[in-house]
Chains A and B, each alone.
Chain A
Amino acid sequence: MMGVMTINGRRVTFTDEKNVLSVIRKAGISIPTLCYLSEMSTFGACRLCMVENERGKMFASCSEVPKDGMTIFTNTKRLQKYRKMIIQLLLGSHDRDCTTCAQSGDCRLQDLARKMNITDVPYQDTRERREIDVSSPSIVRNMNKCILCGDCVRACSELQGLGVLEFTRRGADALVSTAFDRPIAETACVGCGQCRVYCPTGAITIHSNVDDVWDAIGDPNIRVVAQVAPAVRVAVGDAFGMKDGTGVMGMIVNAMHRMGFDEVYDTTLSADLTIMEEANEFLERLSKGEDLPLMTSCCPAWVKFCHDQYPEFDRNVSTCRSPQGMMSAVLKEYYRDPENAGGKKTVVVSVMPCTAKKMEIRWKRNYTKGQKDTDISITSTELVNMIRDFGLDLQMLDPEACDMPFGLGSGGGVIFGASGGVTEAVLRRLAPNHSKQLMDNIADCGVREKKWIREFSIDYKDRRLNICVVSGLANARTVLDKLKAGEVHYDLIEVMACRGGCVMGGGQPVILGRTPREARTAGLYRIDNNETVRKCDENPLVQNLYKGMLKDKAHELLHVHTEE
């Protein structure tokens, strides 16, 4: 429907906007919201987006359908007064230790309070104090800061299909909680961190391991080696005011060197290894016709989801470790050589876009020789905090190259950070050469389609491969249910827990008011385009590893060991 409405006396045309709120924002008016997220259902609880019509009737703009000829006011005196009261009321039932809050500066509630010039809160916080839940390695839940907007509840159920978080109790006692208020670690939580991404306050934050990293760096007997995941390089710049999706890997390496990391390696290398192994596994299963479709295993949130919710598909999930796991195993193996270790203990730190990776490093089936390979996993957001803490301005740093011999990956490894990237890299691996034409054809086969569930077929040798690429666990649930019902048949399914893949991982910096999914994805493809090596098997480091260290250890270091 097309039409014209009058907003604050100015005419605004609208086309297919689903609600008045979108029309208002399109008109350049930043109407505040705390519970409206365009990707989820309309909740309508915060009541900040209320507007008034010409007859003085108030309604929520998030739930009202635009109609031709509508006249609305977004900032009448009454609305301003009431909105201010709402913020005051929210602050009144909120733990206001802003100066020491992990979310300070990135908090939407704080931001609105400042914008509305709130200078006092006439209420005491009388709520029962809730214990902070630190049970999960991925996230920390402090319900004393919760404003009951329900964003996490909807993220968990609507986006991730899990429903671990739910509103409980009611009225002033209402509380977002788990079943029987259990610690989050004792639930079906997969650690994806999407609840934290959408939380407007500091009620759900990343379980930080920054102090552990500083401790390791500060210990002269420890060699701190880091690996940086593909999606990190297109997100960290956002937090330093650079254009969304700018590739800043070189600057990250510089910063990390300055902060005291002994070596900084690139996880894209192990992404290449993942493809080598997974492509082999895929071909083997194809030839045997067993355990198909092959399901990817790079994403720990997905792996846990599948195991908890669909154990019948356990055998379909690839036995490959994730790139993080492969990299750390290789690094640990390398530093087991006394010559390389130089008399120091090695601590491997992974820098990931992901909160679930903190959980993955604890899984015994990823251990090598009974030992944990990745010692500490931090998110890109924590890396940003470290850089700020150290007093560096990322923008001012010159790019540096990663350290060798593990500092180089192919373009196929880089695009792991976007949904469809793993599949595309597998297809490149299966391709006979790396001609531009062939690479472009692969990119256009449907693997990059702008949908959460992408289905396409390609010809490989004498057969047709049916492939599904899905991101967002709720979407994954849809695919698995159909698979279970026999409604669909695939040979390969790539699943990433977060919508759009790792670029939108639960550990990535959240930018107030923006969803940088497309910019970050484009950033990765840009980097890939500029790489000379775009196929994993053409990466010289990969070739060296298979000739050397991995010659007879590929299975031990690169695959999970469930029997243990």
Chain B
Amino acid sequence: MLERSCYDLADRCIEKHGKKPASLIPVMEDIQDELRYLPGELLSYVAKQIGVTEADAYGVATFYENFSFEPKGKYEIKCCDGTACHVKKGIAVIEALQKELGLSKDKHTTDDMQFTLETVSCLGACGLAPTMMVNGKVHPRMTPDTAVALVRELRGDNT
């Protein structure tokens, strides 16, 4: 069972967007923004409240890439593999970070819950490729070395 506060959060989000099926995605987004993941239990609760079937809600949550049933790390790194970043060797940055953090294509979050590494399709800063985003802030012109340095700096902050 989740804490009561999570349900209060869900109630607030539902209140904000309205008790209607169309609120499903905005409510899930708000919950995910707040908790940085979408607890399945809360999804079922929201579904019931706004009048969609649980299977429907699950279908929607698994359709969109941004929803995650797994808690994410303290630092959410989104590496861009859009066209511009790809042709400017963004993959090398991703590989360097995977190696540094011990992550892979299937493992996105470090065991200590510090880092989550994801690949996204475009951050809209193509002129500065390759780019990556850490907790919403875009970092331009990454190289494998600067990316690793950034991660080490972030890690240094909390040890």
Contact = CB atoms under 8 A, between A and B. Distances in A.
Asked if A and B form a direct contact in the complex, defined as CB atoms under 8 angstroms apart, the reply is: yes
Interface of A: 157, 162-170, 177-180, 187-188
Given A162-B53, A168-B55, A187-B55, 20 more contacts: A157-B53, A163-B56, A164-B53, A164-B55, A166-B55, A166-B56, A166-B59, A168-B58, A168-B63, A169-B62, A170-B63, A177-B55, A179-B44, A179-B53, A179-B55, A179-B57, A179-B58, A180-B40, A180-B54, A180-B58
A88 to B, nearest CB: 27
A168 B62 CA distance: 6
The listed residue with most A CB atoms (<10 A of its CB), out of B55, B56, B57, B62, is B55
The DSSP consensus for interface residues of chain B is helix
Nearest to A164: B55
Contacts of A188: 53
Interface string B20-59: 0000000000000000000010001000000001111111
Interface of B: 40, 44, 53-59, 62-63
Nearest to B61: A168
Interface centre among A180, A187, A188 (most CB of B within 10 A): A180
A187 B54 CA distance: 9
A177 B54 CA distance: 11
Contacts of A180: 40, 44, 54, 58
A178 B57 CA distance: 10
Contacts, number: 42
A178 B62 contact: no
Contacts of B58: 166, 168, 177-180
B65 to A, nearest CB: 9
Contacts of A163: 53, 55-56
B55 A165 contact: yes
A166 B63 contact: no
Most chain A CB within a 10 A radius of its CB, from B58, B59, B62: B59
Given A179-B53, A179-B54, A167 B59 contact: yes
A162 B54 CA distance: 10
Nearest to B55: A166
Contacts of B53: 157, 162-164, 166, 179, 188
Nearest to A181: B58
3 tightest Cβ-Cβ pairs between the two chains A and B: A179-B54, A166-B55, A163-B53
A485 B57 CA distance: 26
A177 B53 CA distance: 13
Given A163-B53, A179-B53, A179-B54, A168 B59 contact: yes
A233 to B, nearest CB: 36
Nearest to B47: A179
A226 to B, nearest CB: 37
B63 A169 contact: yes
A181 to B, nearest CB: 8
B47 to A, nearest CB: 8
29 contacts: A157-B53, A163-B53, A163-B55, A163-B56, A164-B55, A165-B55, A166-B53, A166-B55, A166-B56, A167-B59, A167-B63, A168-B55, A168-B58, A168-B62, A169-B62, A169-B63, A170-B62, A177-B55, A177-B58, A178-B55, A178-B58, A179-B53, A179-B54, A179-B58, A180-B40, A180-B44, A180-B54, A187-B55, A188-B53
